[in-house]
């Protein structure tokens, strides 16, 4: 039986991971959980899975949770970043699923790797911020880093058994649904609301990644993530829009053959594979029925309509701390859009502005990365404060 700790257990990925655990109760034991503040969901999860350790980032929420589970023996609740680190490194866990999302996942992920844990990995922001450091830590500690993110899992699966990926790969093709605004003209994007942007056509996910899908920043972050995960040059990574989200991504080989991974739009499949790798167990998800009349469409991405993509390619190309600034400022800017403080097309405008202001540090240390994260968030906040909301195209 594998013992796992789940960071971000109250979120979309965390709940899907617990559903996988439930399906294969004889395979897994949940020993640790962590979240930011959702005490209601954590209480329910503690009563159901009886983990030894639970971390709640917000200290007041941790206090409330302790009071609620006074009747339960054997579960300790810790608060703040120390609590997160404790769950990420707990001796009872052999694998840590990082389903937190955002820069808050960086230190716990590195701590888990350095504690020798295998990682089921979905937090693309961590790889974007610190891909070189994560890869070095994975190598030094001899652990497995298995992607969950649909596109990364697809490429990981296509690459299995490849002897010399560098020589054999012609390019990676990351598929994109195109998000809710694929068919809307650019001029109309200035006035779209958070409610419209949160209507993803194919996937039900947390708010941050759903807005990133609408701006296509999500694809930009995945390009950077793929560069580090698969140790591949940027020039060999392309995006193709595939509105049906059935092909999760592809690898085109040097000989012109292309391998694709297909499946239903259900994250439990990728989560389960990361937890059982290299085994495949049955999964109670709807099957892909290709005998049903179906057409798969593919089309190029529109860089002009979705400027976040070019920002991400620039960040990846320049490297150093610029991807940190892109990703960390994006967290702040997406939140401002959700709060209706800025318009949809202000997202790339503000991000571009913050990136322009940044003095890039090449080959950053962890300290440089944490400083760039702090700088990017505070600069984004001050740019937003002085920004006039744009709701029409000029
Ligand atoms: N959802 C998907 O289907 C999907 C698909 C591909 C990739 N991903 C990636 O998976 C990651 C998570 O996405 P999601 O959609 O699951 O997000 P989500 O639904 O917003 O969940 C985020 C989780 O992280 C916790 N969290 C956030 N900040 C924290 C902090 N500072 N300390 C401790 N816990 C914290 C949240 O706790 P609270 O609930 O208490 O706030 C919640 O449990 C992202 O990197 C995303 O890009 C997600």
Note the CATH number of domain 307-385.
Answer: 1.10.1740.10
Atom of ligand 1 nearest to the CA of 38: 40
Query: Average pLDDT for residues 38-64, to the nearest whole number?
Result: 98
Cα–ligand 1 centroid distance for 122 (angstroms): 9
For a mutational test of ligand 1's pocket, the pick from 7, 9, 10, 13, i.e. the residue with the most ligand atoms closer than 8 A to its C-beta, is: 13
Cα–ligand 1 centroid distance for 164 (angstroms): 34
Q: How far apart are the C-alpha atoms of 328 and 353, rounded to whole Å?
A: 14
Q: How far apart are the C-alpha atoms of 230 and 108, rounded to whole Å?
A: 22
Q: How far apart are the C-alpha atoms of 124 and 206, rounded to whole Å?
A: 14
Portion of the chain with pLDDT greater than 70, in percent: 99
How far apart, in Å, are the Cα atoms of 375 and each of 118, 143, 219, 237, 321? 31, 32, 24, 29, 11
Q: Which of 330-339, 368-377, 382-391 has the lowest mean pLDDT?
A: 382-391
Residue nearest to atom 25 of ligand 1 (CA): 8
pLDDT at 392 over 90: no
Write the pLDDT tens digit of every residue in 189-245: 999 999 999 998 888 889 999 999 999 999 999 999 999 999 999 999 999 999 999
pLDDT at 255 over 70: yes
**Domain residue limits, the chain:** 2-147, 152-265, 307-385
Cα–ligand 1 centroid distance for 8 (angstroms): 5
Q: Are 7 and 83 in contact (CB under 8 A)?
A: no
Cα–ligand 1 centroid distance for 166 (angstroms): 32
Question: Rg for the chain (alpha carbons), in Å?
Answer: 21
DSSP label at residue 230: T
Given this model, what pLDDT does residue 17 score? 98
Q: How far apart are the C-alpha atoms of 283 and 301, rounded to whole Å?
A: 33
Given this model, what pLDDT does residue 331 score? 98
* Torsion angle (degrees, nearest 10) of CA 299, 301, 306, 307: -170
How far apart, in Å, are the Cα atoms of 325 and each of 214, 219, 312, 358? 20, 17, 10, 8
How far apart, in Å, are the Cα atoms of 316 and each of 110, 112, 135, 172, 241? 21, 26, 16, 16, 20
Q: How far apart are the C-alpha atoms of 252 and 256, rounded to whole Å?
A: 6
The reply to whether domains 2-147 and 307-385 share a CATH topology is: no
For a mutational test of ligand 1's pocket, the pick from 99, 106, 121, 216, i.e. the residue with the most ligand atoms closer than 8 A to its C-beta, is: 99
Q: What is the mean pLDDT of the chain?
A: 96
pLDDT at 384 over 90: yes
How far apart, in Å, are the Cα atoms of 300 and each of 138, 173, 182, 242, 297? 34, 11, 11, 9, 10
Token match 């649904």: residue? 177
The rounded Cα 297 to chain-centroid distance in angstroms is: 25
Write the pLDDT tens digit of every residue in 85-103: 999 999 999 999 999 989 9
Pocket of ligand 1 (CB under 6 A): 8-14, 34-38, 57, 84, 99-102, 104, 122-125, 149-150, 203, 205-206, 208-209, 267
Given this model, what pLDDT does residue 293 score? 63
Pick the CATH number of 2-147 from 3.40.50.1010, 3.40.50.11900, 3.40.50.720, 3.40.50.10710: 3.40.50.720
Cα–ligand 1 centroid distance for 125 (angstroms): 11
Write the pLDDT tens digit of every residue in 20-42: 999 999 999 999 999 999 999 99
Burial 79-112 (b: 16+ CB within 10 A, else e): beeebbbbbbbbeebebbbbbbbbbbbbbbbbbb
Cα–ligand 1 centroid distance for 359 (angstroms): 29
User: What is the band of 270 on the pLDDT scale with cuts at 50, 70, 90?
Assistant: very high
pLDDT at 115 over 80: yes
pLDDT at 394 over 80: no
Which residues touch 169 (CB under 8 Å, ≥6 apart)?
159, 162, 230, 232, 236, 251, 252, 253, 254
User: What is the band of 341 on the pLDDT scale with cuts at 50, 70, 90?
Assistant: very high
User: Which tokens sit at 82?
Assistant: 């120390």
Of 231, 224, 276, the C-alpha closest to 118 is 276
């Amino acid at each position: 039986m594998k013992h796992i700790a789940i960071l971000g257990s109250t979120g979309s990925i965390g709940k899907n991971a617990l559903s996988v655990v439930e399906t294969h109760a004889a395979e897994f034991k949940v020993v640790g959980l962590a979240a930011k503040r959702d005490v209601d969901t954590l209480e329910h999860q503690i009563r159901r899975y009886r983990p030894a350790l639970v971390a709640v980032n917000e200290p007041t929420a941790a206090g409330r949770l302790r009071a609620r589970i006074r009747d339960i023996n054997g579960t300790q609740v810790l608060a703040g970043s120390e609590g997160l680190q404790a769950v990420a490194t707990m001796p009872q866990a052999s694998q840590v699923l990082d389903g937190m999302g955002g820069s808050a996942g960086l230190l716990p992920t590195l701590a888990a790797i350095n504690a020798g844990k295998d990682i089921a990995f979905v937090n693309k922001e961590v790889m974007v911020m610190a891909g070189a450091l994560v890869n070095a830590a994975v190598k030094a500690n001899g652990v497995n880093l298995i992607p969950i993110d649909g596109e990364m899992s697809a490429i990981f699966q296509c690459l299995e058994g490849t002897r010399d990926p560098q020589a054999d790969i012609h390019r990676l093709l990351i598929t994109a649904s195109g998000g809710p605004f694929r068919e809307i003209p650019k001029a109309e994007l200035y006035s779209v609301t958070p409610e419209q942007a949160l209507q993803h056509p194919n996937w039900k996910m947390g708010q941050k990644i759903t807005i990133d899908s609408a701006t296509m920043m999500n694809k930009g972050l995945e390009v950077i993530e793929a560069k580090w995960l698969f140790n591949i040059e940027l020039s060999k990574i392309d995006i193709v829009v595939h509105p049906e989200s059935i092909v999760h991504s592809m690898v085109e080989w040097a000989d012109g053959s292309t391998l694709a991974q297909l499946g239903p739009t259900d994250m439990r499949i990728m989560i389960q594979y990361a937890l059982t790798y290299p085994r495949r167990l049955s999964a109670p998800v709807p099957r892909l029925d290709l005998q049903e009349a179906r057409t798969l469409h593919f089309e190029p991405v529109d860089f002009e309509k979705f400027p976040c993509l070019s920002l991400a390619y620039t960040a990846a190309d320049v490297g150093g701390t610029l991807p940190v600034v892109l990703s960390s400022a994006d967290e702040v800017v997406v939140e401002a859009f959700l709060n209706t403080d800025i318009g949809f097309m202000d997202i790339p405008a503000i991000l571009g502005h913050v990136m322009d202001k940044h003095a890039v540090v090449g080959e950053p240390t962890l300290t440089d990365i944490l400083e760039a994260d702090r700088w990017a968030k505070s600069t984004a906040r001050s740019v937003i404060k002085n920004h006039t909301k744009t709701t029409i195209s000029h």
